[in-house]
Structure 1
Amino acid sequence: MIGVSTYLESRASWGVWELPAALLPVGYPRQVQAAGGIAAMLPPDDPSYARSVVARLDGVVIAGGPDVEPVRYGAEREARTGPPARERDAWELALIEAALASGTPLLGICRGMQLMNVALGGTLVQHLEGHVELPGVFGTHTVKPVPGTLYESIVPDACTGVPTYHHQAVDRLGRDLAPSAHAEDGTVEAIELPSPAWALGVQWHPEAGEDTRVMTALVRAAS
């Protein structure tokens, strides 16, 4: 059972409806299912429930989404930083802390990787050029693994064309985190905690592509 955090939108449309919604791009549950897991959506909730929720799960995925509020890492908001998603920040930080405390396998994707870094005391670059090509369209670039890392054991060779859509990135690494992949411009593209933890963050969007190796590794660790 793999819990996946969700977006929380004040207005979403489907059919004849236009309502507030907790939603998730279908690539997330489909990748979990393709890897042999069962996907459970985790919409924002009271952070005090996070430990009991994670106790019922075998793995946790923190999904992509809006920018992390800079106050979470002790910075002032810059002009190109997006509006805050405070309910998501609070809930997902609590999920990350609960997963790390319990040893539950954890995968952070894009925003999820950034939140992992923030949860462990790291900071973010609030604007980065070159990793978004067109609004609402995934771009691609190459990611190279760092030898000897968990990520390199999952994806041993450079990956060309990973789906990417982000304008923020890891700046100062959080406690005990190590970089495990880089883009060609040197941007940290994956972070992880040392063994025996299974905690990995990737800056790109594997759920938007065909390569299921990262999600499969999470599900195997969870099982």
Structure 2
Amino acid sequence: MTDQRPIIGITTYRQAASWGAWREVPADLLPSDYALAVERAGGIPVLVPPLADRDAARAVLGRLDGLLIAGGADVNPARYGQEPDPNVVRWYDDRDASELWLLGEADALRLPVLGICRGMQLMAVAAGGSLVQHLPDVVGHDRHGGGESSYEAIPVVVDPGHRVSALLGEQITSASHHHQAVADHPGFVATARDADGVLQAMEAEGDRFEVGVQWHPETTDDVRVIEGLVDAARDSAARRRDER
């Protein structure tokens, strides 16, 4: 019997890492929370490192059923026409380019997409939007950033009548770790905010699953938004099989 679980590509970091006897070795890596959450949600995770060109992105997506753009470093502010804030000191142009190619090709193929934290921000940038470069300068505190390796519990209110509210209801407590946020998001509907007015979720209109969340559901027991991606990927894969 053919395994009908959808295959979900998850983008990765490419940066120096240390393990065993090796120190500061260039590596493609990602916290295992992402892959484990996709498995719990009913999908098969496949890690996608930064790719060399758009043709590679097209080829990869032709073999996937859905795409998850993971969290990570800041997006290069030049991608949305700004000079870097003093608090924005590191970005990875290879990852920015690869994920923008992947998003463009996912649009062409109408694959389901979920963006988590940086992933949501990149989705907004890909659509021609912009970011708040350093959120504490706007909201007056740094609680959204959590600790050095921990997450802050931030209450989030979800607008009713949208895909995100159908998955999560109208209020959740999010796992937050970010110092940036989405400012402008052309083509996306704002569907959740926190008490500071920070955009916490957005989604595209229409029947395609194209959702971004600012928090980190993969670190919690609540993977309903990832289940939404997996379910949409399963349906999309079935439709493509029927069309062949």
TM-score by length of 1: 0.96
Q: Is the 8 A contact 1:179 1:192 kept in 2?
A: yes
What is residue 31 of structure 1 aligned with on the other side?
37
Q: Which runs of 5+ in 2 are unaligned?
A: 1-6, 137-141, 235-244
- 1:188 is matched with which residue? 199
TM-score by length of structure 2 reads 0.88
Shift of 1:191: 0.9
Distance in structure 1 (CA, Å) of the matches to 2:145 and 2:202: 20
Match of 2:169 among 149, 152, 156: 156
What's the counterpart of residue 179 of structure 2?
Answer: 167
Confirm or deny: 8 A CA contact 2:160 2:170 kept in the other structure: no
Aligned: 1:21 with 2:23: no
Contact 2:66 2:230 (C-alpha < 8 Å) held by counterparts: yes
Identify unmatched segments of 5+ residues in structure 1. Answer: none
Q: Aligned to 2:12, which of 6, 11, 27? A: 6
**How far did 1:47 drift?**
2.7
Which aligned pairs between 1:87-98 and structure 2 lie closer than 5 A? 87-98=94-105
**What's the % identity of the aligned pairs?**
44
Deviations 1:157-180 (A, max 9, x none): 3002x1110000011122x11111
Secondary structure of the structure 2 residue equivalent to 1:2 = strand
Amino acid at match of 1:112: G
Matched, 1:55 2:55: no
User: Which structure has the larger Rg?
Assistant: 2
Could you give the per-residue CA deviations for residues 50-82 of structure 1, whole angstroms, max 9, x where no partner exists?
A: 112111100000000000000000111110113
User: Following superposition of structure 1 onto structure 2, how do residues 71-220 of structure 1 map, counting pairs within 5 Å?
Assistant: 71-129=78-136, 130=142, 131-160=144-173, 162-174=174-186, 176-220=187-231
1 or 2, which has the higher helix percentage?
Answer: 2
